[in-house]
C-alpha cells in the first residue's frame, strides 16, 4: 500500500536521475573531458580511463552512436559534440537531507 511518508523518506536516498540516457561508463568518459578541460581526446586516453566493469573503447563508441562524441578515424581522436557539451554544462547536485535545524 502507498504511504507518502515512506515514499518521501526513500526518495531522499535515491540517486540523481539524469535526463540523458547514459551508462556509468559513458558518464566517466564525458567526465574525463571535463576533468582535463579538453574538447578532444586521443583514443589512447579514452582506453586508459578506469571503469569498475567494461571500459576500453566501448563506452566511447557508444557515445559516438548516441551523438555525444564524434570520432576522427585519421587522427584517432574523440571530440565532444553539442549533446555532450550540454550534458557537461549541467551542475547536478543531490537533494540535501533535512537537518532539522531552523535557519532563523
Domains of the chain: 22-89 (1.10.10.10)
d(CA 85, CA 82): 5
Three-class secondary structure assignment of 36-82: CCCCEEEHHHHHCCCCCCCCCCHHHHHHHHHCCEEEECCCCEEEECH
* Enclosing H/E stretch for 6: helix 4-12
pLDDT in tens, the chain (104 residues): 545 555 445 555 556 566 668 888 898 899 999 999 999 999 999 988 876 666 678 899 999 999 999 999 887 999 999 999 998 988 766 666 656 555 55
| pLDDT tens figures, 33-60 | 999 999 999 999 998 887 666 667 889 9
0.75 exceeded by the pTM? no
Q: 57: Cβ–Cβ under 8 A, 6 or more apart, which residues?
A: 43, 46, 47
Amino acid at each position: 500500500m502507498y504511504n507518502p511518508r515512506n515514499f518521501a523518506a526513500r526518495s531522499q536516498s535515491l540517486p540523481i536521475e539524469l535526463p540523458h540516457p547514459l551508462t556509468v561508463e559513458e558518464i566517466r568518459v564525458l567526465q574525463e573531458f571535463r576533468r582535463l578541460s579538453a574538447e578532444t581526446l586521443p583514443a589512447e586516453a579514452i582506453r586508459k580511463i578506469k571503469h569498475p566493469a567494461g571500459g576500453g573503447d566501448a563506452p566511447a563508441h557508444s557515445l559516438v552512436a548516441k551523438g555525444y562524441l564524434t570520432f576522427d578515424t585519421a587522427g584517432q581522436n574523440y571530440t565532444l559534440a553539442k549533446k555532450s557539451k550540454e550534458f557537461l554544462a549541467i551542475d547536478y547536485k543531490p537533494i540535501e537531507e533535512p537537518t532539522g535545524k531552523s535557519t532563523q
